[in-house]
Chain A
Amino acid sequence: MSHIHLPDGVIPVFWWVIGYIITAAMLAFSFYRTESMGLRRKIPLLGIMSALMLIGQSIPLGFIPFHLNLAILSGIVLGPWLGFIAVFITNLFLAFLGHGGITVVGLNTVIVGTEAILGYLLFNAFRRILVPLPFAAATAVILALIFSITLMVGVVSLSNINPAMVLSERLEGLRRIQAPEARPSISIPRFVIIIAPFAVIGIAIESVVTGLIIRFIEKVRPEIIDYSRVAGGGS
């Protein structure tokens, strides 16, 4: 949902490098936390969950430019750290397929990975006070997505503090596309207005579908929902 679909070359180098540095640090921490629970034994699970996320994220729902993320579901069942690694793998694959630039993989992982971490924490907080589980999952999805979308808009906002200057800097020595006084003032409110209706529909669909999946899992194999806690992935 909050995956940044920006191409390469739009976000200033500073920000996407920061994104990669944060992602690398988070991945290192995730490896450290999951090593003790036998990370190498979980490679099949990690890979297959990433594949499921990849399927969800690569199929647009048709009538709106939206796709399921399933990142929060991954966070809930895999735990926050394995979930974060799964998000990185999915984002890297998506970038190779042109779904978001290769340079924004770091930022995308930070944003979507936040969904996995926050989703796990919120789900486990809500399940203690809310019944049934699908409702806890749906609520966790709504809040995690609101947070990650806000984060996404923040990243876009930061990257567009002065996009005309960014373009002009890159054009140094080349043809300037516009005079400095005619630089466009990028409207973040306009950007928010454009994505808001899609975000509302997207959050609604993601929360309902995640709730329904949790309901299905609860009926068929309820122990999966507690896997991350039992396996220590959430510790």
Chain B
Amino acid sequence: MDISFIDNLAYNTESIMHRASAPAKILMVGLIITTVVISGSPVSLAVALITLVVVVLISRLPVAKILSLASYAFFFSLIFALSQVGGGITAPVVIVLKATVAALSLLLLITTTPYPQIFAILQKVLPSVLVDAMLVTYRSFFVLIGQISSRITVIRIRAGYSPLNIVKNLSDTGSIIGHGFIHAWELSESMQDAMFVRGYTGKFPLSLPLSSISWHDAFPLAIGLLILLVAVV
């Protein structure tokens, strides 16, 4: 998973999906998730999958990379699907399709929508404390992953990694994560000070201008409705 890559796609790509408003795209995801929940037909789910791949193409997103991200859901659902092989092939296929379609719809949302817009909507339905913590989580992810990657590189350069010495590797892993953990802790302490010095009152201001709703919204809504209609008709 590469959140920085997703962030870059959401901000720096131009397409009809990127121009659509966040509420419209969230509604599209809602319609697709509804389809996934109510549909048991491999055909309608396959149609949904193909439609989403086409939308990914139209959105000028890197199809291979997006599909590789969705494959995470595919492989984990495969374990569950394998336990149902005894009942025929349809049920496992449906399970895997459901996982992939749902994952792809969510990936489509986050790769075409800047994260503050998504959080602004979440702030309307979740406690502000929770949304603020999620914002910190999102931003901290980049900082921490960069530092942990650097530490892994340092250990490799200094011959700290040896493929045959599992005990040493586990010990190094513990040290890397432990170091990352302590750094995270110290980062939170300094962030806490900075937030209150800057006048944090218990809620990050996130705005969602209603003017952002436009005719571009028709596209994601049409896609969501189309997928739902194929499933129910």
Asked if A14 is at the interface (CB within 8 A of a chain B CB), the reply is no
* Interface contact A8-B102, CB-CB below 8 Å: yes
Q: What is the predominant secondary structure among interface residues of chain B facing chain A?
A: helix
The answer to whether A9 touches B141, judged by C-beta atoms less than 8 angstroms apart, is no
Residue of B90, B103, B135, B170 with most partner-chain A CB within 10 A: B103
Give residues of chain B (163-191) contacting chain A, Cβ–Cβ below 8 Å. Answer: 170-171, 173-175, 177-182, 184-185, 187-189, 191
- Encode contact with B along A168-189: 1 for CB under 8 Å, 0 otherwise: 1011001101100011111110
**CB neighbours of B179 from chain A (8 A):** 216
Q: By the criterion CB–CB under 8 Å, are B191 and A48 in contact? A: yes
Please determine whether A44 and B95 come into contact, CB atoms closer than 8 angstroms.
no
Is A93 touching B137 in the complex (CB atoms < 8 A)?
A: yes
CB distance from B185 to the nearest CB of A (A): 6
CA A41 to CA B195, docked complex, whole Å: 9
| Segment touching A, from B12-20, B30-38, B205-213, B215-223 | B30-38
Q: Does B82 contact A (CB under 8 A)?
A: yes
CA distance A27 to B130 in the complex (A): 10
Partner of A7, one of B91, B98, B171, B195: B98
Q: How many residues on A have C-beta within 8 angstroms of the other chain's C-beta atoms? A: 82
Looking at A60, A96, A195, A221, the one whose CB has the most chain B CB atoms below 10 A away is A96
Which A residues are CB-close (under 8 A) to B121?
none
Instruction: Please report which residues of chain A, range 152-178, place their CB below 8 angstroms from some CB of chain B when the two chains form the complex.
Output: 156, 163-164, 167-168, 170-171, 174-175, 177-178
Identify which of B77, B83, B88, B139 gathers the most chain A CB atoms within 10 Å of its CB.
B83
Could you say which interface size class chain B belongs to? Answer: 35 or more
- Flag if B102 contacts A177 (CB, 8 Å): no
Q: Which residues of B contact A51 (CB under 8 A)?
A: 136-138, 140-141, 143-144, 184
**Does B188 lie within 8 Å of A186, measured CB to CB?**
no
Give chain A nearest CB distance to B105 CB in angstroms.
Answer: 9
Asked if A65 and B79 make an inter-chain contact with CB atoms under 8 angstroms apart, the answer reads yes
Query: 16 new A-B pairs (CB below 8 Å) besides A7-B95, A208-B170, A224-B182?
Result: A43-B129, A45-B185, A47-B133, A48-B188, A51-B137, A51-B138, A70-B177, A97-B107, A98-B70, A98-B104, A174-B39, A194-B82, A209-B174, A213-B178, A217-B182, A224-B185
Q: Which residues of B contact A (CB under 8 A)?
A: 1, 33, 36-42, 69-70, 72-73, 75-77, 79-80, 82-84, 86-88, 90-91, 94-96, 98-100, 102-104, 106-107, 109-110, 127, 129-130, 132-141, 143-145, 148, 170-171, 173-175, 177-182, 184-185, 187-189, 191-192, 195-196, 200, 202, 232
> What are 19 pairs between A and B in contact, CB < 8 Å?
A5-B77, A6-B80, A7-B96, A8-B102, A9-B39, A40-B129, A46-B133, A48-B184, A50-B137, A51-B140, A51-B184, A96-B106, A98-B103, A99-B76, A101-B36, A101-B99, A212-B170, A212-B175, A224-B182
A contacts, CB < 8 Å to B: 5-10, 13, 27, 31, 39-52, 54-56, 58-60, 65, 68, 70, 73, 85, 88-90, 92-93, 95-103, 156, 163-164, 167-168, 170-171, 174-175, 177-178, 182-188, 190-191, 194-195, 205, 208-209, 211-213, 215-217, 220-221, 224
